[in-house]
Amino acid sequence: MKTRVVHQSPGQLHIDLGKIRLSAEEADVLYYALTEQPGVHKVTVLPRTGQLVIHFDTSEIRYRDGIVRFLREMDIADPELKKLVPGVSGRATSEMYKEKLGTLIIKRYAKKLFLPAPIRAAMIIYNGAPFVIAGIKDLLHKKFSAEIVHASAILASVLTSDFPTADSIIFLTEVGELLEEWTYKKSVDDLARSLALNISTVWKINDDEAEPEMVNLSQIKVGDLIRVYVGNVIPLDGVVESGEAMVNQSALTGESIPVHKEPGITVYAGTAIDEGELTIRVTEISGTTRYDNIVNYIEASQSMVAETQSQAEKLVSRLIPYTFGTAALTYLLTRNVTKAASVLMVDFSCAIEVAMPISVLSAMREASGHHMTVKGGKYLELIAEADTVVFDKTGTLTKAVPKVEQVVAMNGRDEDTMLALAAELEMHFPHSLANAVVRAARERNVSYGIPHSKPEYIVAHGIVSVAGNDRVIIGSWHFVFEDEHTVVLPEDEERLHSIPAEYSQLFMAINGTLAAVICIDDPIKAETPRVIERLRKAGFSNIVMMTGDSERTAASIAARAGVDRYYSEVLPEDKARFVEREKAAGHKVVMIGDGINDSPALSAADVGIAIKEGADVAREICDITLAGAELEQLIALKELSDKLMVRMKSTGTLGISINGAILLAGILGLATPGTAALLHNASTILLCLRNMQNMIPPEEDYRTL
Amino acid sequence: MKGKYWWTLIGGIIAGAYGPDLLASKAVQKGLRYLTAGAIIARDRIMADSEKIQAAASDIAADAKEITQRYYDRCDEASKEFEDAVD
């Protein structure tokens, strides 16, 4: 497409596309296609003038040239590019609200300039009527809300023939409401989009084979059979063909108690399997990711409202009768209707009702800019109060890519064969240790060949399967030796005990005899000690590590990480029980996990945080999701939460003090009702705008700790 | 004055009697359609101008940043020369 560079600055390109106007679809394609380009920081599309402003990274010349080349070569009608536009475009929503705001402002000044006074007065009465009616309704329901104060302010102005004041009150109230609606809608949209499904592959069962085949989600048609395993999300609507499972439907219905599913029962896209597995016949392949359901769920859940906010709102609604009392008192004392009216212009609850929700929503938006998804304002508040944080070791404190260092084969078995067998069984599980085994087998290019039965997963212990004629088990020391009473052949005893201690060990036994020990190195992340120290400084005084791993590995990692306490060989129930104990002792607990066996503890904690690469079940039931296993994000989260609390408090204080000053000015006659109304509404709007600012440094600053 | 009162009264009665019919008539409707369209176009032009200002402001801000960056670089160089000279 035609491009002309209007202006160049370091890191910024201002481009004219030669078109007079861009339609919404064209603007969307441009925006989303450009944001994907390498090196692009921010794209601003100006659809009414056909221009683009692009901010990009200056560290490499190829970024700028790449952007210009992409624009010159792109075809705006290309369907491939259209795919990049999400179902509900955030850009289009912002554009819509910008237009509404612009229309509101232009209408007001156009009316002032062009319409004669009587018609203006009539329009003001017409526009103000809804507010007055709303206020009267609240009064009749004995609900003392801010609407009553607004209504009385408008009514008082109109009755005293002070139409300009009534006009300005109506206008500024409408602007405030629009800003609030905009922020709310944007936050809900962003949240819903990040909660929507991000699945790309699924196990498909072809009729003639018993083994499922991993295919791309887009290749599934209605009537196909798919299999979903424990810990994974059901990607499409369907009817259960075979199998049995307990399914967590909280993403759809909000209930966290799992629902039993068996053949014949319908299952829904977006729900996760807690236990068991299902073979499902697909009934619907539409591209919808249950977006509207998620939006409804978010709006219905009370977690959007922080406790502080609802407390402040309750407090302020108690003050409203006093506002009327003050107005009446002023009239009695001064016999001046004007002064009494100016008291009504000042509404204390305004700032709190409008500016506080905006600050909460803005914090949630800022968190998503750090690639964290916060599912409700309540959770930010809880994090600010929290002093205890519980980590899972594997994948959180240690690198998410544990590596198989050694395979020690016993009983005369061959190393590679044992590794291949282990890999075949572990392939079904989303645990990072399992992934390491699969990866190692792929690297050594070995495969087992003999079919095996579907492995049965015993939570936090290990897996059991039948391969050919052999019963194979893989798991921890506790599982393999103490539970299953595996025998070690005398000639292997010495080798067993000489295995280095710092590796995580997976024991594999065939038909009751130890067959191999797979040594996995789970190195601690380099930044972990520093991050733990920063976390302690940020306010977490009680940092706990819990892992199902052996005592030796846990102890060495714990010492290097610098945690306050650690627990090894932990079972999932223990994790949950520990969380409950801490809560009973009065602590607020934050739990971070990624595996299936973390779900009880994640639900029990005050705030459950899941890592994005973890099991889908964990991500479904958690309260906050961190994209990427970056511990630094925790620091950002804590700082953001603390700053949010400070901001909410200052909103309350500023709201009351500024409005109190205006009230005083009104009573003393220093300000007319018109001025009071203007000051009150303008200060509220400025407070809202301030609350929309970012509170913590951008993401890059946290990554370079 | 009293005369004005009577004229206002008569004007109001006429407006009330014939006003609604007039407003609903085809001619007025057509006129209003074009008027509203014109208003919308005017609004879009105003918003387009505001976009132009937005783009220009963004350019100015970027250039200003560059100028200040060069200024600071020159200051740094100057102070380095000074340090070298002192040594």
pLDDT in tens, B34-84: 989 998 999 999 999 999 999 999 999 999 999 999 999 999 998 888 888
Residue of A nearest to B51 (CA): A46
B35 touches chain A (CB under 8 A): no
Strands A272-284 and A225-228: antiparallel
Angle at A325 between CA A323 and CA A327, to 5 degrees: 70
Q: Is A102 on the interface with B (CB under 8 A)?
A: yes
Q: State the pLDDT at residue A295.
A: 67
Residue A55 pairs in a beta bridge with: A12, A42
Q: What is the DSSP string of A11-54?
A: TEEEEE-S-S---HHHHHHHHHHHHHSTTEEEEEEETTTTEEEE
What CA–CA distances, in Å, run from A252 to A193, A268, A377?
Answer: 14, 8, 20
Residue of B nearest to A104 (CA): B43
Of A9, A48, A51, which has the smallest distance from its Cβ to B66's Cβ? A9
Dist. CA A524–CA A127, nearest whole Å = 64
Residue A42 near chain B (CB below 8 Å): no
In the predicted model, is pLDDT for residue A108 greater than 80? yes
Contacts of A559 (CB under 8 A, 6+ apart): none
Q: Classify strands A565-567 and A542-546 as parallel, antiparallel or unpaired.
A: parallel
pLDDT at position A287 over 60: no
What's the rounded Cα separation, in Å, for the pair A184 and A275?
36
More confident residue, B3 or A30: A30
Q: Which of A4, A6, A8, A9 best tests the B interface by mutation, with the highest count of B CBs <10 A?
A: A9
| A355-364, A573-582, A643-652: range with highest mean pLDDT | A643-652
Asked if A6's CB is within 8 angstroms of B59's CB, the reply is: yes
Q: Where are the alpha helices (DSSP H) in A203-279?
A: 250-253
Encoded amino acid at A282, one letter = V
CB spacing of B55 vs A9 below 8 angstroms:
no
Domain-by-domain residue ranges, chain B? 26-86
Query: Confidence class of residue A700 from pLDDT cuts 50, 70 and 90?
Result: low
A12 to B47: CB separation less than 8 angstroms, yes or no = no
Q: Is B39's CB within 8 Å of A9's CB?
A: no
Q: Highest-confidence range of A26-30, A355-359, A402-406, A452-456, by mean pLDDT?
A: A26-30
| pLDDT above 80: residue A44 | yes
Q: Which residues of B touch A103 (CB under 8 A)?
A: 43
Assess whether pLDDT exceeds 70 at residue A595.
no
CB contact (8 A) between residue A12 and residue B52:
no
Contact A49 B51 (CB under 8 A): yes
**Nearest residue to A98 (alpha-carbon basis) of A40, A24, A32, A168:** A24
Cβ-defined contact of A12 to B59 (cutoff 8 Å) = yes
pLDDT at A32: 87
Residue of chain A nearest B45, judged by CA positions: A48
Q: Enter the tokens of residue A619.
A: 């991500």
Strand partners, A72: none
Q: Are strands A201-205 and A51-56 parallel, antiparallel or unpaired?
A: unpaired
Domains of chain A in start order, with CATH, are 4-85 (3.30.70.100), 201-289 (2.70.150.10), 370-398+524-640 (3.40.50.1000), 403-521 (3.40.1110.10)
What is the band of A255 on the pLDDT scale with cuts at 50, 70, 90?
A: low
Of B47, B62, B69, the CB nearest to A48: B47
Cα–Cα distance between A244 and A280 in angstroms, integer? 11
In sequence order, the β-bridge partners of residue A238 are A267, A282
Smallest Cα–Cα separation from A377: which of A647, A602, A105? A647
With cut-offs at 50, 70 and 90, classify the pLDDT of residue A602: confident
CB contact under 8 A, B48 and A48: yes
Interchain pair A12, B62: CB under 8 A? yes
Asked whether A93 and B41 are in contact (CB, 8 A), the reply is: no
C-beta atoms of A9 and B52 within 8 A = no
A473's tokens = 């088990």
Report d(CA B62, CA B58) in Å as an integer. 6
Laid out side by side, the sheet with A456-458 consists of A403-409, A513-521, A504-510, A470-475, A462-467, A456-458
Q: Residue A649 pLDDT more than 80?
A: yes
Burial class for A610, CB neighbours closer than 10 Å (0-12, 13-18, 19+): buried
Instruction: Identify the pLDDT of residue A615.
Output: 62
Q: Is the pLDDT assigned to residue A100 strictly greater than 90?
A: yes
- Return the residue in B49, B52, B58 with the most chain A beta carbons within 10 A, the one to mutate for interface testing: B58
Chain A contact present for B43, CB below 8 A: yes
Residue A580 has pLDDT above 70, yes or no: yes
Q: Which of residues 109-168 of A touch B (CB under 8 A)?
A: 110
DSSP-derived pairing of the beta strands A607-611 and A589-593 = parallel
- Rounded Cα distance between A47 and B67, Å, is 30
Q: Output phi, psi for A69, to 5 deg.
A: -65, -45
Give the angle A470-A473-A479 at the CA atoms, nearest 5°.
150
Paired tokens of A280 = 């499902």
A395 touches A611 (CB < 8 A): yes
Tens-digit pLDDT profile for residues A182-239: 877 877 777 676 666 555 678 888 776 677 777 777 677 888 888 888 878 888 888 9
- Nearest-CB residue to B58 (from A10, A53, A106): A53
Q: How many other CB atoms sit within 10 Å of the CB of residue A88?
A: 14
- Chain B residue with CA closest to A56: the answer is B62
pLDDT in tens, A259-281: 888 898 888 877 788 788 888 88
Token pair listed for A71: 């624009």
Closest residue by Cα to residue A405 from A258, A519, A274, A530: A519
Residue type at A37 in one-letter notation: Q
* pLDDT tens-digit map of A613-626: 666 666 667 788 88
Q: Which residues of B touch A118 (CB under 8 A)?
A: none
Interface check A10 vs B, CB under 8 A: yes
CA–CA dist A393, A390 (Å, integer): 10
CB atoms within 10 A of CB A221: 8
Q: Is A476 in contact with A463 (CB distance < 8 Å)?
A: no
Q: Is the CB of residue B68 less than 8 Å away from at least one CB of chain A?
A: no
Q: Can you give the pLDDT at residue A301?
A: 61
Choice between A222 and A288, residue whose per-residue pLDDT is larger: A222
Residues of B in contact with A110 (CB under 8 A): 39
Dist. CA A678–CA A691, nearest whole Å? 20
From the CB of residue A152, how many other CB atoms can be counted at a distance below 10 Å? 23
As a residue count, chain B comes to 87
Average pLDDT over residues A274-296: 72
Contact with chain B for residue A96, Cβ under 8 A: no
Q: In chain B, which residue's Cα lies nearest the Cα of A20?
A: B48
A704 vs A99, residue with greater confidence: A99
pLDDT at A390 over 80: yes
Minimum Cα–Cα distance from B42: chain A residue: A106
Using a CB-CB cut-off of 8 Å, the residues of chain B touching A10 are 62, 65-66, 69
Q: What's the distance, Cα to Cα, between the start and end of chain A in Å?
A: 42
**A46 contacts B66? CB cut-off 8 A:** no
Residues in chain A: 705
3-state SS class at A6: strand
A142-175 residue pLDDT tens: 777 777 877 888 888 888 777 888 888 888 888 8
A11 touches B at CB < 8 Å: yes
Pick from A10, A12, A106: CB nearest B46: A106
Do A9 and B56 meet the contact criterion of CB atoms below 8 Å apart?
Answer: no
pLDDT (tens digit per residue) in A434-473? 777 888 888 877 776 667 777 777 766 778 888 777 888 8
| d(CA B84, nearest CA chain A) in Å | 29
Amino acid at A4: R
DSSP SS3 for A265: coil
Q: Does A1 touch chain B (CB under 8 A)?
A: no
Q: How far is CA A458 from CA A5, A695, A704, in A?
A: 62, 45, 40
Residues of chain B with C-beta less than 8 angstroms from the C-beta of A6: 55, 59
Spatial distance between the Cα atoms of A676 and A658, rounded to a whole number of angstroms:
11
Determine the pLDDT at residue A165.
81
First-to-last CA distance in chain B?
Answer: 93
pLDDT single digits (tens) A499-511: 776 677 788 888 8
Task: Give ipTM to 2 decimals.
Answer: 0.74
**Whole-number pLDDT of residue B47:** 92
